[in-house]
């Protein structure tokens, strides 16, 4: 049997030429007597087959080459190689906020608070985090939006809900620089936020532990609360803002 070999820069392909009448009987016998192991890319004789054909080794090698194992050069092999492993995190992804420290989440909220101060709004910032990834951030905007409900927590919750397409923010953390008021705490419970982390207490409007203690234990949602995270820094942003306003 003859073979025609074409070479290219990427790989070498082996093609079978139409065999003569005498060679067809050999090929027919080889299909019955040869078991091709695609994984190892080798062929081995079937122990149940009888007889030995001289010169059949070369033909077997050609048959194996014409049916390569699903490796790099095979379409199935290329598809399997491109599929990412579920156990390995994407390359270049940094550690999440949850894994690092609550200070990191509060730092993002503080940036939002300073942004609100530059706009003339009361400097309170908030950020929604899930699995260490920031979903949304917000700051006080009632003056700019003429919306009395546009507190930092509500703004961030609305953005996060729109982003994930769900009004339930299950498994999310909310970082806010100041203790939430009753309205914002109610929104946090309605959104099913898993954990609330805030900095400074609000002695004039705080509904967690200041002017009123919201009866969270009587609701159908369990909210984990942490307070005092960078409290002095959060309070200093508020003091500086109102001091400048009094001077003006």
Tell me: pLDDT of 15 over 80.
no
Task: Convert the pLDDT of each residue in 62-74 to its tens digit.
Answer: 343 444 444 444 4
Tracing tokens 């073979």 back to the chain, one arrives at: 3
Q: CB-based burial of residue 210 (10 Å sphere; 0-12 exposed, 13-18 middle, 19+ buried)?
A: middle
Residues known to be catalytic: 153
Nearest to 123 by CA among 109, 135, 136: 109
Identify the bridge partners of residue 42 per DSSP, sorted by sequence position. 37
Q: What is the pLDDT of residue 215?
A: 87
Identify the bridge partners of residue 226 per DSSP, sorted by sequence position. 197
By the 8 A CB rule, do 169 and 160 touch?
yes
Tell me: pLDDT of 11 over 90.
no
Q: What is the pLDDT of residue 18?
A: 52
What Cα–Cα distance (Å) separates residue 16 from each residue in 5, 29, 66, 111?
Answer: 9, 16, 8, 70
Q: Report the share of the chain in percent with pLDDT over 90.
A: 53
Q: Strands 133-139 and 125-130, how do they pair?
A: antiparallel
Split at pLDDT 50, 70, 90, the class of 20 is low
Split at pLDDT 50, 70, 90, the class of 217 is confident
Half-sphere CA count of 116, side-chain side, radius 13 A:
31
Tell me: pLDDT of 35 over 90.
no
Tell me: pLDDT of 34 over 60.
no
Task: Convert the pLDDT of each residue in 225-248 to its tens digit.
Answer: 999 999 999 999 999 999 998 987
Phi, psi of 176 (to 5 degrees): -140, 145
Task: Convert the pLDDT of each residue in 147-189 to its tens digit.
Answer: 999 999 999 999 999 999 999 999 999 999 999 999 999 999 9
Tracing tokens 């620089």 back to the chain, one arrives at: 177
Whole-angstrom distance, CA of residue 23 vs CA of residue 2: 10
Nearest to 200 by CA among 168, 226, 155, 232: 232
More confident residue, 236 or 19: 236
Tell me: pLDDT of 95 over 80.
no
Find all residues with CB under 8 Å of 213, minimum gap 6, and list them: 207
Average pLDDT, the chain: 74
By the 8 A CB rule, do 95 and 132 touch?
yes
Q: What is the pLDDT of residue 65?
A: 40
């Amino acid at each position: 049997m003859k073979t025609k070999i074409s070479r290219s820069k990427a790989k070498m392909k082996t093609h079978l030429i139409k065999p003569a009448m005498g060679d067809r009987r050999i090929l027919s016998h080889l299909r019955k007597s040869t078991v091709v192991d695609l994984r190892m890319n080798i062929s081995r004789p079937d122990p149940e087959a009888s007889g030995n054909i001289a010169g059949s080794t070369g033909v077997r090698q050609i048959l194996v080459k014409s049916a390569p194992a699903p490796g790099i050069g095979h379409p199935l092999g290329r598809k399997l190689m491109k599929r990412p492993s579920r156990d390995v995190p994407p390359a270049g992804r940094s550690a999440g906020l949850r894994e690092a420290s609550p200070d990191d989440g509060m730092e993002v909220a503080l940036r939002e608070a300073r942004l609100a101060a530059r706009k003339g709004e009361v400097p309170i910032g908030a950020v929604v985090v899930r699995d260490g990834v920031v979903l949304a951030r917000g700051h006080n905007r009632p003056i700019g939006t003429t919306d009395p409900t546009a507190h930092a927590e509500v703004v961030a919750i609305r953005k996060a809900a729109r982003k994930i397409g769900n009004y339930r923010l299950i498994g999310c953390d909310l970082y806010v620089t100041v203790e939430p008021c009753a309205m914002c705490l109610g929104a946090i419970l309605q959104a099913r936020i898993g954990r609330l982390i805030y900095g400074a207490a609000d002695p004039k409007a705080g509904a967690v532990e200041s002017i009123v203690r919201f009866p969270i234990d009587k609701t159908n949602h369990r909210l984990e609360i942490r307070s005092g995270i960078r409290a002095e820094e959060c309070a200093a942003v508020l003091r500086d803002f109102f001091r400048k306003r009094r001077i003006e």
